[in-house]
Structure 1
């Protein structure tokens, strides 16, 4: 089977020739692997979850990956500026500081807002800046017409309704209080975020939607041991906005599948996510509370495709062994792959402590172990 055929069989809950493979990693882990393999080919392809960086086609082929990615770009006219707290301003107006290999938000532009009008009047980015799509159409068309890979499209930058406000614009502490004490202000912030998400997706899909197989979205709702907000708050304040965003994606590009990212222990919200038109759930963190892969498959496997599942907290960590990596692949394939509906990938970004040997073993072993019929 070709990679795109493999993906479509899996997402339609049919058994392909093998489980499709995808790849999320930190730049540091990628560079370690690249250097270990002595790959010197040009790094021409954007990669990453939110902020993109470059990778080479040679490395993607070495891992037997079935997906390639298309990103909107930052507007050409945007120039990052230093902020008083020492962070660097992003196009979304929040400030980011490099801490331990990750850019963390340290400045929140909505932190001092007290009135709905301040939110409504806030000047955000312009989705229609033509430089955002410079070269994107040509790349998407090439991937669709000249390769056999499944093509993932993404607007880039912060995405979502709850998370973009809490994590990037307002700050978690204040926004969680807003949801209970200042609901009108919280609703205005999420409404503005929702409208921007719809407009960004509009630009992407109107330009390249016909060449995409997947649109990647996300909104973190969980942490290691539970939910960030209650199911009641989600259903009363967030869910209808998710529904509007994802229904609009399916309206503009009925053929695409929606891949939704949420870290953590989100099992109590999976039924709701299915109801708002999510097709694929990522990253299935197996050590988070309630995220047992066998139980998830039994409960939701006929209505949802699972993406991820490979533990990074132990098996792929410095404490894990090659045998742990193999056992992890064995477990996730056994639990999630029968009857299709599974894309094997790490349960978030592969960390710098994951050695090149473990990364190669993960993908080489998964290529063999993921062959159908599943043992």
Structure 2
């Protein structure tokens, strides 16, 4: 079956072969170190891995590796990155601190200090302080807080509007170019278009801005969820205006080339429970999500994708009511997130995209047999009556043994009757 056919089964909650997604979205991806190891394992041409997402150093899974693994999803992403530079079709080689040569965007600009820390710059402009830091022996970039201590008495909410605005003609041209290359694909095309991430904490510090101002400190932002909701409503309302306008323009270019649209990666759960009450979610976040989801459902055939880690059992009905079609990563390893109970309670109302294997323990530290067995169990639980797309519980991390990734892939193929 094609990827699109498998997705249709999942969306219609019908049993059948399960769609395998690795690398389609920013939270269903795979670190570039593991991509390189997989290419070697499968005997594919040795060449630098292209970085798809620079903060997490996610690697692009190219067609030859997709074919070897049975992946049937393809990313179609906007030109923007979380560090503000554009990522289109011009790349250069960069040697990572761990020695891997990868391909990065032209404006991916870094420096290294005497302690071995690597710094990256918003829009590639070294005239401003760095936006992110990769610690010595690190494998990702962390945001750097670049604003003074928050002064509530002298705060101007417009300082938090800077990153929102109309999409450029150049970025629309980039989407058009991708559409022309992918519109006839049998894969599920995954749209990460940007602009709809309300309160995503990875974006709050303004890594895409050369000199961010306003409410950017993460602690102050979380305080504001309870104590300054009026400010956040102003920010979200301003963001929503451009989000809808830009979706209209992007849809005019893309049409129904994409099947799934990544809406937001804001997390509401910890390992032990939600850190956001249902009341706050419904008051502060749900109105904006619902307007975006409603617009998409009324004007396109796209399905909307919400990422939310952690223990969120009691919040899932609110996500459904806000109009989301898909939930990722389905962290059944968190407290009160038993996979059987998840499936029984919500499996006929939302598609679970992820949850196929534990990425904190089993995948990195288990044996290949343990990985194989856990994957089969998850497929049987979540695949019952459809409504499931296979992905791990969040991105595949560096250090995961390649044999374990292969065991995972083989177990999915076994469940699907493909081996």
Which residue does 1:62 correspond to in 2?
Answer: 68
User: Per-residue deviation at 1:172?
Assistant: 2.7
The answer for unaligned runs of 5 or more in structure 1 is: none
1:97 aligns with 2:133: yes
- State the distance in 2 between where 1:49 and 1:246 align: 27
Residue deviations 1:165-212, cap 9 Å, x none? 875342331112222332322322333444454444344323213211
Q: 1:117 to 1:107 in 2, by over 3 A?
A: closer
Alignment pair present for 1:311 and 2:358: yes
1:290 counterpart residue number = 336
Is the helix fraction higher in 1 or 2?
Answer: 1
**Are the equivalent residues in 2 in contact too, given 1:141–1:208 (CA < 8 A)?**
no
- Equivalent residues, number: 366
Given candidates 139, 147, 153, the residue that maps to 2:178 is 139
The 5 Å alignment of 1:178-257 reads 178-218=224-264, 219-253=266-300, 255-257=301-303
Q: Secondary structure at the match of 1:139?
A: helix
Contact 2:305 2:325 in 1 (8 A): yes
Aligned to 2:325: 279
CA distance in 1, matches of 2:350, 2:287: 20
Corresponding residue of 1:171: 217
Is 1:365 aligned with 2:396?
A: no
Contact conserved, 1:166 with 1:172, CA < 8 A, in 2?
Answer: no
| Pair 1:289–1:167, CA change in 2 (3 A) | farther
**Structure number with higher relative contact order (C-alpha < 8 Å, ≥ 6 residues apart):** 1
Structure 2 counterparts to residues 146-157 of structure 1, below 5 A: 147-156=185-194
Deviations 1:331-370 (A, max 9, x none): 2112110111000111111011211111111112211113
**How much does 1:86 deviate?**
8.5
Q: Distance in 1 between matches of 2:381 and 2:47?
A: 38
For residues 65 and 175 of structure 2, the distance between their equivalents in structure 1, rounded to whole angstroms, comes to 22
TM-score where L is the length of structure 1: 0.86
CA contact (8 A) 1:217 1:258 kept: yes
What is the Cα deviation at residue 222 of structure 1?
1.2
- Cα RMSD between the aligned structures? 3.2
CA distance in 2, matches of 1:347, 1:212: 23
> How many angstroms apart in 2 are the aligned matches of 1:45 and 1:19?
27
Answer whether contact 2:201 2:218 (CA < 8 A) is retained. Answer: no
TM-score normalised over the length of structure 2? 0.78
